[in-house]
Amino acid sequence: MHLPYAIPTEVMTMEMFLMALCVSIFGLAVVAIAFGAATRPEKSVSTAQPELRPAKPATAGRFFADPSPALPSPPRSYVPTEVLLAKIEHHVRLEQAAAQSFLESPSHAQLHTKTTSQLVN
């Protein structure tokens, strides 16, 4: 296919450069507008606010409006530290045994088996 006129490569290069320059300037303008909108302080509609008066005068507290007294919290059961440590150690042993079992014969089913530990959510 022969074109009736040939476009010099310098002209094509200049056109591409000008196109890239225009796109970059447009992008810079969009970013500047977005940044200006994001950092603009909030403007109040009117600086002088009229004093608001309540529609009804305040009355004495009613049944549902009275603050309820704080409910007593249930006594916390004390669990000895040794018991907690024993549970954690048992959990670690189970996890180590599961890891060792997986390393001996890795499989997809073993990787996703549930643990028997009580410390799992």
Flag whether 25 is in a domain. Answer: yes
Give DSSP secondary structure letters for the chain. ---SSPPPHHHHHHHHHHHHHHHHHHHHHHHHHHHHHHHPPPPPS-SSPPPP--SS------TTTSPPPPPPPPPPPP--HHHHHHHHHHHHHHHHHHHHHHHHS--HHHHTPPP--TT--
Flag whether 70 is in a domain. Answer: no
Token duo for residue 70: 């704080």
| pLDDT per position as a tens digit, 38-80 | 888 876 555 666 677 766 666 666 666 555 566 677 777 888 8
Full-model pTM: 0.35
Domain that residue 21 falls in: 7-39
Flag whether 94 is in a domain. Answer: yes
Flag whether 72 is in a domain. Answer: no
Please tell me the total count of domains within the chain. 2
Flag whether 11 is in a domain. Answer: yes
Flag whether 87 is in a domain. Answer: yes
**Residue written as tokens 């042993």?**
93
